[in-house]
Amino acid sequence: MDQPAYSIVLPAYNESERIAASLDKIFAHIARFGWKAEVIVVDDGSSDETAHIVTRYTAQYPNLRLLQNPGNHGKGYSVRNGMLHARGDILLFSDADLSSPIAEADKLFAVIAGGTDIAIGSRWLKSEMQIRRQPLYRQILGRIFNLALRVLLGLNFKDTQCGFKAFTRRAAHTVFPPQQIERWGFDPELLYLARKHHLAVAEVPVAWSHREGTRIHPIRDGLRMFADVLKVRWNALSGKYAAGNTAAESL
């Protein structure tokens, strides 16, 4: 296909029950608005039928690609893999279950068209836009994590963890090559790197709905994410984000 204007990256791990419905919605939106877009599903070593379902869809949609990680590496690795193989001018990654409807991408793209380098979806700038909220205990843990980001990394965003973020091609190729965190804690690292490189980041309120079946364990993965924040701080102090020190070569 010709050079796409947009690349939509979906990290997927054992998403056989949801990936077909998500792809149907994405391609319907692409057709409705006549986007020149590619869709990339990054399979993170799934043990179910995720890869087979996506492969069947590629026969119908030549602008769909399947990338397969060498085993299970995590969401951060999957997003980086997809972003660094994307060909579009504007690159979006979204959760495979479309917790934020694909139509919300229009808001992020419009902000980037206005001159912003990175547009991040936010569930909390206008919390009334949430169709179905997270359980209360997850909201509380999220607030604690957000406070840690402000204190340790100086990230003053309402929501860093919404899996719906768009980048200019230049911004993506600035923040993803030095990314070190491969699992759930990668979002704050990307935003820290964006600030380090003086990229403009806009937080954009989006519709969002909590989906059952999430694979994040609030306590176990919350502790891991906190450890990842400390790792980002250590990486910064030890020079691992300096020019030439990148993780992309491991893809």
Q: What is the rounded average pLDDT of the residues 198-224?
A: 77
pLDDT tens-digit map of 220-244: 666 787 888 889 989 988 988 876 5
Distance (Å, whole) CA 160 – CA 132: 18
Does residue 134 carry a pLDDT above 60?
no
The pLDDT, as a whole number, for residue 184 is 77
Distance (Å, whole) CA 227 – CA 181: 10
Does residue 210 carry a pLDDT above 80?
no
pLDDT tens-digit map of 14-47: 999 999 999 999 999 999 999 999 999 999 999 9
Q: What is the rounded average pLDDT of the residues 65-71?
A: 97
The pLDDT, as a whole number, for residue 226 is 81
CB 149 within 8 A of CB 190: no
* Buried-exposed string 171-200: b where 16+ CB fall within 10 A, e elsewhere: bbebbbbbbbbbbbbbbbbbbbbbeeeebe
Mean pLDDT for all residues in the chain: 88
The pLDDT, as a whole number, for residue 204 is 97
pTM of the predicted model as reported, rounded to 2 decimal places: 0.88
Q: Could you state, in order of their start, the residue ranges of all structural domains in the chain?
A: 6-250
pLDDT bucket at 138, cuts 50 / 70 / 90: low
pLDDT tens-digit map of 157-178: 988 889 999 999 999 999 999 9
Percent pLDDT > 90 in the chain is 67
Six-digit token pair at 3? 């050079």
CB 208 within 8 A of CB 99: yes
Domain 6-250 indexed as CATH 3.30.9.90: no
Determine the distance from the C-alpha atom of residue 1 to the mean position of all C-alpha atoms in its chain, rounded to a whole number. 24
